[in-house]
Amino acid sequence: GRAVDARRAEALFDAMARDRGVEVDRGAFTLMLRAYLAAGELGEPLWRLLGDMEWAGVGAADPAIYVDIIEAASAMLRGERAAAFAFQVLKRLKDSGAGALRVDVYNAALKAVAHNGDAATAAGVRDAELLLEDMLERGVAPNHRTFSLVLQRYTRGDAPDMDGAVALLRRMADLGLKPQVKQYAIAMKGYAAIGEPERALELQAEMEAAGVPSNDVVYTTLCTACKNARPPRRDLAVATVRDMIARGLRPHQATLNAAVGSCLGAGGDAAASRETLALIREWGMTPDAVTYNTILKALLSGEVPDAEAALFLLREMLRNGQVNATSFVLAVRAYGLLGRVEAAGELETEMRRASVAPPPRFYTAWVDECERRGVPAAAYQGALARARAQEGFKAAPLSVYNRTISACVREGRLADAARLFSEMSADGVEPDITSFNIILDGLTRDEGGAEHGLEMLRRAEDAGVAADVFTYNTILRNFAQASGVKDAAPVAAVLAQMEARGLAKDVFTYTSLIEFHCKALDAPAFAAAEALIEEMEASSLPSVSVVPYNCLLHAYASRGGADALPRMEALVRRMDDAGVPADAYTMNAFALAYVNRAGYGSRDIEGVIAEMGARGVKADAATYDLYLRSVEAEASPDVEAVKQIYAEMRAAPGCRLERHNFAPLRRIFSRAGDVEALEACIGEMRRAGFEVDKAATGDLILAHAYRKPPDLRRAEEVFQAFVERNGGAGADTYVFNALLKAAAVAGDLDYAAAVRERMTASGVKADAHTYGALVHAACLGGRFDDGRRLLMEGIRAGYSPRAMKTSLDVGRRTAAAAAAAEQVP
């Protein structure tokens, strides 16, 4: 029985011994020994029983009882205890002189040593050698099984003693015992384990030279050696199988599996898979499901996977009846590569037809592909619905639920996410902390997210699910993303709860806390943020990230006072001392600080870009955008310097210009009247895939006006081209105003008035910019009375002089300037 009552067995055995009419025979002793062994009692009672056996002459009559004892102990004890017990029994037999020592007793002890113990140490090998020497000293002749067992001990483990194994084969011959194929095969397995096929082949050649022919085990071992070699030896494996077939031996499945492993290496690819299939067909073999799956996996691996070939192979596997659940899991991957994730539903039907029950990992693979392909959440929900309908499951896999909920959160379908989260428990699937974190992440995106987060935290605790650092970081991040916060107490309470749970802050915790103190609070608490930086540096974090430093730097740049720049410089020095390398976002904080402060300009940001180069940091699109914003704010920008920076932007690796990066460039080139540079910039926009919108059109119209002399004819052509591109639908107020501003720059009121009439005729309503452009056109052309009239017209239309970007004295200032220069600008 599984729970042997050794005491009751003892009582019965003692009753037999006391009953003079009953002989206590070998069977009774053997059963009592087995009772002790089954009960795990290897102490005094067992040894006393062995003594009784010897006294009764049972052992002397049949020493094979010791073989039974050793084998029973080996089966029940395992490990080093079995080997030690075998030595004890053998020693007792030798010491007692109860009977002649036989080879089968030694072999039983060798088997205990060969199959148990720690393969990584030399102790087992030493024990085997001692037993062999003891046999020889006592005149017990070893047989082939003896040497097989000693060889097994030599060749076990990750570092087999191959020198010892080969020497043992030589010793067999010296003792007059010719090694058989089994002993050679065991030695070859040692070479196979360490991936040395050439040495295994040398041993095969030696074996055959001794008149021992190879069998299928030898060839399988050789193929295994080829598979385990680094890199795998496809050439030798193929030659080995061909040699085997040429000798009339048919490769069996183990041989084929090893050969396929050699051909495909650690993973293989589609090309290697096709070659391997061709070889299998050449050998006239039908792979089993395991071999097929190895090839199927390789077809879907590498830089150029062949999903079509994988699905074609699946059809062959179905025809041959060699499929299992893994085959269909791999087929899901194939459909994913083809962009047909929904076909996983068809595979489920195929599985049932093939009498394969869909396992949970099939549905996990399905949502894996949904994730890889970025499909809508509805596809995840389809996989989840199929898994929930699976009769063989207690419940759908937790990971399928979690990732379906995550997909709903990503799409903003929070109601669906919350519903699925609620249905999990009803389906018998208990949410884990990942489930809570996913739904928490979604809920905290809504208004009042911090409150939602705290509520979800309470629910997790009520469900007995321990929150992790990610949970608290999600809540803290939501507090950090707020604005105008006056009370930091709720954040302090969350942090205290996190620390009470024994959870240490990580880099995301520090970042959220710094962001909260610097950005979310109504009045930034820079001192608290600086204290957090000090705490982070003194903590046991494996490495300190640049992210928290960058958060504080940008807060200084945006909300810092007059001493912001010195504090930023001190913080970067601190980063350098801590070995935290600055990145582009670090340096962009300085550019932002210059943009936000009077007295600084593009030259200062050029210095930032130079410093980035000295640090080996690549300027990114944001760097250049800040530079261009500073240039645009200058009265007389250096257009040639801008062109140089623009060339650097285009040449910078990984610096992808977005639509907003082109806007300040266009305006700078437009104000400079550099039509050629502006047209090149617009061409670059088109090549980047951005539409030339009305803002770009307006900039080009104005560029022609800012030329010296102004070219209103070309400005008009640009206007007309825009109208034609839009199907003759006409321009709106923005584009008409661009043409009016061009007229204003040129001081051509007549042209401006004509444009105004076209606006009215087209039904386009004038706005403050329309009247402002008309006023400027009049004044810059020296027609001040018309300017005052148009200004009053704009005021009567409901626009203030400020809104029209002019004032009542604009004419006087323009007139004074004209008189001083004796010309009209």
Tens digits of residue pLDDT in 759-806: 898 888 999 999 999 999 999 888 999 999 999 999 999 998 888 876
Q: Which one, of 441, 503, 433, 447, lies nearest residue 477 by Cα?
A: 441
> CB of 87 within 8 A of CB of 109?
yes
pLDDT in tens, 718-741: 888 888 887 666 678 888 888 899
Share of the chain above pLDDT 90, in %: 37
Average pLDDT taken over every residue of the chain: 86
- Residue 254 is given by DSSP the state H
Burial of 765 (0-12, 13-18, 19+ CB in 10 A): exposed
State pLDDT tens for residues 337-356: 999 998 888 898 999 899 99
Banded pLDDT at 813 (limits 50, 70, 90) = low
Query: What does the pLDDT read at residue 62?
Result: 62
Nearest 5°: the CA angle 81, 4, 72 is: 40
> How far is Cα 332 from Cα 106, in angstroms, rounded to an integer?
55
The model's confidence at residue 825, banded by pLDDT at 50, 70 and 90, is: very low
Q: Among 128-132, 446-450, 597-601, 772-776, whose mean pLDDT is lowest?
A: 446-450
In the predicted model, what is the mean pLDDT of residues 206-212? Answer: 95
Confirm if 740 and 753 have CB atoms less than 8 A apart.
no
Spatial separation of the C-alpha atoms in residues 649 and 622, rounded to whole Å: 10
Over 80: is that where the pLDDT of 76 sits?
A: no
Please answer whether residues 127 and 87 qualify as being in contact, where contact means their C-beta atoms are separated by less than 8 angstroms.
yes
Q: What phi and psi values does residue 712 have, to the nearest 5 degrees?
A: -70, -25
Q: Is the peptide bond before 431 cis (omega within 30 degrees of 0)?
A: no
In this prediction, residues 460-474 reach a mean pLDDT of 90
416: number of Cβ within 10 Å: 18
**44-53, 184-193, 197-206: the lowest-pLDDT one:** 44-53
Q: pLDDT confidence of 193, banded at 50, 70, 90?
A: very high
> What confidence tens digit (pLDDT) does each residue in 567-625 have?
999 999 999 998 999 999 999 999 999 988 888 888 898 899 899 999 999 888 888 88
Residue 783 C-alpha from the chain's centroid: 70
Cα separation, 169 vs 181, whole angstroms: 11
- Are the CB atoms for 250 and 286 separated by under 8 Å? no
Length, in residues, of the chain: 825
Residue 93 has pLDDT above 80, yes or no: no
> Residue 493: which residues within 8 A CB-CB, separation 6 or more?
none
Q: Which domains does the chain have, with CATH numbers?
A: 442-581 (1.25.40.10)
Taking CA 90 as the corner, what is the angle to CA 86 and CA 91, rounded to the nearest 5 degrees? Answer: 115
Q: Is 148 left (phi over 0), alpha (psi -120 to 50) or beta?
A: alpha
Does residue 228 carry a pLDDT above 70? yes
Find tokens 């699937």 and name the residue.
429
**Tens digit of each residue's pLDDT (9 = 90 or more) over 314-332:** 999 999 999 999 999 999 9
Neighbours of 198 (CB within 10 A): 12
